[in-house]
Amino acid sequence: MVGPNGNESSATYFVLIGLPGLEEAQFWLAFPLCSLYLIAVLGNLTIIYIVWTEHSLHEPMYIFLCMLSGLDILISTSSMPKMMAIFWFNSTTIQFDACLLQMFAIHSLSGMESTVLLAMAFDRYVAICHPLRHATVLTLPRVTKIGMAAVVRGAALMAPLPVFIKQLPFCRSNILSHSYCLHQDVMKLACADIHVNVIYGLIVIISAIGLDSVLISLSYLLILKTVLGLTREAQTKAFGTCVSHVCAVFIFYVPFIGLSMVHRFGKRQDSLLPVIMANTYLLVPPVLNPIVYGVKTKEIRQRILRLFHVTTLTSDP
């Protein structure tokens, strides 16, 4: 790459500084973070295993939950191993192409997860507002197509991202303020006009996260309208089937929106806040989602208790 003054760009790699101001504590902070990552992976793998092996759970709601768990594993894995290498081994450098790959993975997987959350909201809407049509509307082939559409949509929206970043000259600092590569963080290092990147980022957020959140809100307004006309017992049952998904929506969207707001309107010198929010955004949802579904969903909770009960019995002498 060549800078605007004809100088050769030095951005063949970037430097990830981890937690600015907490460099001495990073080694010890890595232990609880690694523990949370392992909990996230094991928890989501447990959800996938239970739904996969229990034929009675081969329903749209649980299949979408499997998709959500798989995406949570991939999202946390796209950043945590490198983060651990930074904290434990001071491996702060990341090659330019590896940074682009990590950036594409994080943002595209986030778009896929947003689409799956929207699909789960649609599933709840049909199940509660049109229960007699649920089995015909959300068939297994259709659920599979929705999952494939989520993957294609997330990848397609982020496909221009590496291209746009590669067009930028980097002749200033190559030090990133996060523990992994984010589009908002990388483009600020460019010594050129980044309006195209900013506009592209806004278009992606509005067309993906923004649209999905509006449609999810609309689906729950329609669900609420229907539920209010039911008996008290039916209302309790209907709300019970929605609680886990509502929690998952808030767990995903609140950190994402907060991080976007801080990047767009926050001051760069307050660098620790967006770093903590970014780490929270990629680690907390994968940790909390299986816990929420394990506690709030009766069928999942019963299978988990049965799984560990059987494991305990087989391990006893």
Domains of the chain, earliest start first: 13-299 (1.20.1070.10)
* Dihedral-angle region of residue 18 (phi above 0 means left; psi in -120 to 50 means alpha; beta otherwise): left
Phi, psi of 27 (to 5 degrees): -60, -45
Contact by Cβ (8 Å): 165, 183: yes
Tens digits of residue pLDDT in 225-237 = 998 888 888 888 8
Tens digits of residue pLDDT in 119-175 = 999 999 999 999 899 999 999 999 999 999 999 999 999 999 999 998 888 877 788
Angstrom CA distances, 128 to 63, 174, 222, stand at: 18, 52, 10
Please count the residues of the chain: 317
- Give the range with max mean pLDDT: 22-26, 111-115, 189-193, 255-259: 111-115
CA dist 309 and 301 (Å) reads 12
How would you list the strands of the sheet with 175-176, edge to edge? 93-95, 13-16, 175-176
* 146 strand-pairing partners: none
- By C-alpha distance, which of 70, 91, 264, 67 is closest to 182? 264
Kindly state the average pLDDT of the residues 54-79.
92
Tens digits of residue pLDDT in 268-313 = 544 677 777 788 888 889 999 998 888 888 888 888 888 777 554 4
Where b means 16+ CB within 10 Å and e means fewer, 203-229 reads ebbeebbeebbeebeebbeebeebbee
Owner of token pair 């998904």: 245
- Report the DSSP pairing between strands 175-176 and 93-95: unpaired
Q: Which residue has the higher pLDDT, 218 or 239?
A: 218
Contact by Cβ (8 Å): 175, 222: no
Q: Which two tokens stand for residue 184?
A: 């908002």
- Sequence-distant (6+) residues with CB within 8 A of 288 are 247, 251
